[in-house]
């Protein structure tokens, strides 16, 4: 395919939902022959993702604030970008679900970065967090309009089966994981611990 715009991809692959492109390709190692086309590979990846999403959607716990499967994939993509720790995925999911249920903004940095596109230079500033985009969850309420990455099956399952927790906040702990909190005061303390860990790591 010479034109890789979302509309062209959706039309070429005959998506059931042409507006759902980002995030809807299964991440995997794909074996193919010399004459396999890019379209054929993309179809395989999309079809496998459709099946994985359907399974997660059909098995999801009751009462989740998702309007449709794309919301589930969107949440999974946020989880995917927020943590690489397998045991944390369902806890991260619980934070965002808890926030949605009480009308609290998601305030997740990866959505801001995605919305910035090529203007992101590797550092987020306060101005970036305050600049409106369709994906800036510090500014918008509820879910962003679509996925911000290709989620793994583990993240899909976490989005469909979030842990039952009282958590509303989390921050990196400086050791590869995160510290989860139920209130802002505890969260702010965890942030200070993280800042100290960074300074200690850098010898400051």
Question: Would you say residue 38 lies in a domain?
Answer: yes
In DSSP notation, 75-139 reads HHHHHHHH---GGGHHHHHHHHHHHHHHT-----HHHHHHHHGGG--S---HHHHHS--TT-TTT
Read off the pLDDT of residues 143-174 as tens digits, 9 standing for 90 and up: 999 999 999 999 999 999 999 999 999 999 98
Q: What integer pLDDT is reported at residue 9 of this predicted model?
A: 78
Residues 127 and 183 both lie in one domain? no
Residues 118 and 21 both lie in one domain? yes
Averaged pLDDT for residues 76-88: 96
CATH number of the domain to which 190 belongs = 3.30.160.60
Residues 48 and 136 both lie in one domain? yes
Residues 186 and 110 both lie in one domain? no
Residues 13 and 68 both lie in one domain? yes
Residues 55 and 154 both lie in one domain? yes
Question: Would you say residue 58 lies in a domain?
Answer: yes
Q: What integer pLDDT is reported at residue 1 of this predicted model?
A: 39
Q: Quick one: which of 96, 72, 71, 69 has its CA closest to 82?
A: 96
Residue 151: which domain range?
6-164
Question: Would you say residue 75 lies in a domain?
Answer: yes
Residues 116 and 47 both lie in one domain? yes
How many percent of the chain have pLDDT more than 70?
98
Residues 24 and 78 both lie in one domain? yes
Residues 147 and 177 both lie in one domain? no
Question: Would you say residue 36 lies in a domain?
Answer: yes
The residue with tokens 């100290």 is 196
pTM of the model: 0.90
Q: What total of structural domains would you count in the chain?
A: 2
Residues 135 and 196 both lie in one domain? no
Question: Would you say residue 46 lies in a domain?
Answer: yes
Question: Would you say residue 156 lies in a domain?
Answer: yes
CA 104 – CA 183 distance, rounded (Å): 13
Question: Would you say residue 1 lies in a domain?
Answer: no
Question: Would you say residue 97 lies in a domain?
Answer: yes
Residues 38 and 88 both lie in one domain? yes
Residues 143 and 196 both lie in one domain? no
Q: What integer pLDDT is reported at residue 91 of this predicted model?
A: 98
The answer, yes or no, to whether residue 89 has pLDDT greater than 70, is: yes
Please give the backbone phi and psi of residue 10, each rounded to the nearest 5 degrees, phi first: -60, -40
């Amino acid at each position: 395919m010479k034109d890789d715009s979302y509309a062209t991809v959706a039309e070429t692959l005959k998506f059931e939902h042409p507006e759902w492109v980002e995030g809807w390709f299964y991440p995997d190692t794909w074996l193919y022959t010399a004459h396999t086309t890019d379209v054929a590979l993309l179809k395989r990846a999309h079809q496998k993702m459709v099946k994985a999403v359907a399974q997660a959607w059909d098995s999801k716990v009751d009462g989740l604030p998702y309007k449709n499967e794309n919301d589930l994939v969107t949440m999974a993509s946020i989880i995917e970008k927020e943590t690489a720790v397998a045991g944390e995925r369902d806890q991260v999911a619980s934070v965002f679900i808890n926030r949605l249920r009480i009308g609290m903004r998601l305030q997740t940095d990866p959505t801001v970065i995605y919305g910035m596109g090529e203007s992101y230079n590797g550092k987020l500033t306060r101005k970036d967090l305050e600049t409106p985009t369709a994906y800036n969850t510090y500014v918008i309420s509820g879910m962003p309009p679509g996925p911000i990455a290709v989620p793994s099956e583990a993240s899909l399952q976490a989005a469909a089966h979030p842990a039952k927790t009282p958590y509303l906040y989390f921050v990196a702990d400086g050791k590869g994981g995160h510290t989860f909190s139920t209130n802002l005061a505890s969260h702010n303390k965890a942030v200070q611990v993280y800042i100290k860990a960074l300074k200690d790591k850098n010898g400051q």
